[in-house]
Each structure stands twice: as C-alpha cells, then as structure tokens.
A = this chain, B = another copy of it.
C-alpha cells in the first residue's frame, strides 16, 4: 500500500499535482483489494467511511491512476467501464462467464510471447493487451 502511494505521489508531483485527501482516500480504496472494480462499486465502498468524496472526484482521479501506471481499464464486457490493478500484477488474460459474471484470471507466458511475436511482425509497438474469452464457467455450463 505504501509503494502505490509513492508511485502515485511521484506521478502527481511530476505533473505539478498534489496528493490531496480525496485522492489519497480513492487510492487507498482502490488498493484495499485486488478485485476488478467500477466507479459505482468504488463510490459505495468509499462512502462507507467518507461521506465527503464525490463521484466527480472519483471520475477525475481514475485517469490519474491510469496515467501513473497503477491501474488500467480492463476488457469492457458490461455497460460500465471497469478497471484493474496493473502495479504489482502480472499480465494475464480473462475468462468471463456470461451467465454469472465470474472472471477467471489466467497467466500465460505463451500467449504473451505469441502476441509479442505477432506485434513484431507488424512493426506494432504494444502498450498493453487485453485478451478475453466469453463463455460459461464450469458451474454455469452444467
């Protein structure tokens, strides 16, 4: 939790911005768990302890967290944008159950290296990738 704070603060300072109280609360809540999240869930979570952080500030802070490299927008499969940690997490792909919404995270060096190879062939400079499959999880496919 301290490391994320350092990364964020460093980024903010480099942009002439400050780690204010609301930004700190948002940062802490985002990194309180490792789950994927969306703005509404984050807002509810924050509101349990802090009645004075607004949606507007959350919406304004998320791009800062993305820019600082701490989180990224994840594969969008539902109505709402959602996000996941990048800092401290290896690249992984997602198996998303269409029925129960469960997200299975899978690491694969193989997949990663194939993508890199393909990108090289096309002279494409990969910043980040999203690999996802939709279908039915074990429980839901019976």
Contacts and interface: CB of A to CB of B under 8 A. Distances in A.
A51 B8 CA distance: 52
B118 A124 contact: no
Interface residues on A, range: 35 or more
A114 B131 CA distance: 12
Contacts of A62: none
A138 B124 contact: yes
B133 A126 contact: yes
B110 A93 contact: no
Given A111-B114, A114-B114, A141-B125, A119 B95 contact: yes
A111 B115 CA distance: 8
A131 to B, nearest CB: 5
A75 interface: yes
